[in-house]
Amino acid sequence: MMSIAARSGALSPYMQATKQTVKSLVSPGAQHLVPAAAPGGIRLAHTDIKIPDFTDYRRPEVLNPNKSSQESSEERRLFSYLVTGATTVVGVYTAKTVVSQFVSSMSASADVLALSKIEVKLSDIPEGKNMTFKWRGKPLFVRHRTEKEIAAEEAVNISELRDPQHDKERVQNPSWVIVLGVCTHLGCVPIANAGDYGGYYCPCHGSHYDASGRIRKGPAPLNLEVPYYEFLSEDTVMVG
């Protein structure tokens, strides 16, 4: 049977290179050259590669090759904690400053804050009458009630009310009722001293409020809103 080399007629380049390598190992003194067209399977060593020097990036505590890094681990750990803590403090302070400036920019200006409150001189409102003021873009009703109105509203059975509230819960001084003139149905402006209960009447859909601003009849679900206010004196009230 013919050998593979006999059938092919010549050795392949890879087999020739292998043969030359074996000969050089068996006869060290023999000079054999590797063919110029050496196959890719033969790896040649590169001796011109420079190994990077990372000394500048290493901490001084670990430069000594004869000293264990465990001896300086505690010191290096404390340094890392110190840097982390300082960075955290700076970050928190910066975030606090940014948030404070943002909130300040979003807050109302001085002229807007001035309009958020209104002083009402009560001596200008006769007994039994209601006056309307503009406050925060809404109508504000200030009503000077008579003794008869006060007695009638305090005697109402709150269990019969749609939005149960006693008259004393809605006023600081029984003589004065201060409510927003906005119907709780669809936001219309009721008419003062009108309706079946002598308080306020919304003609849009027929909501009737009493002299305490409580809903008594009609589609409105809630009583008229009572804003925050305080009496600065017997003759002056501050709303807002």
What is the extent of the structural domain holding 123? Answer: 115-239
Q: Is residue 35 part of a domain?
A: no
Cα–Cα distance for residue pair 143/175, rounded to 1 Å: 8
Q: Is residue 127 part of a domain?
A: yes
Same domain, 194 and 88: no
Q: Is residue 85 part of a domain?
A: yes
Task: Please give the torsion angle defined by the CA atoms of residues 35, 41, 47 and 50, in that order, rounded to the nearest 10 degrees.
Answer: 140
The residues facing 230 across adjacent strands are 238
Q: Is residue 194 part of a domain?
A: yes
Same domain, 122 and 56: no
Q: How far is CA 200 from CA 137, 139, 195, 207, in A?
A: 20, 13, 6, 8
Active site residue 166: no
Number of domains in the chain: 2
Q: Which of 46, 166, 185, 205 is catalytic?
A: 205
Give me the pLDDT at residue 54, please: 77
If the chain, 240 residues long, is cut into consecutive pieces of 10 residues, what is the mean pLDDT of each piece?
A: 46 61 57 50 65 76 71 74 89 90 71 75 93 91 95 93 94 95 94 93 94 95 95 92
Backbone angles phi and psi of 5, in degrees to 5: -65, -40
Q: Is residue 148 part of a domain?
A: yes
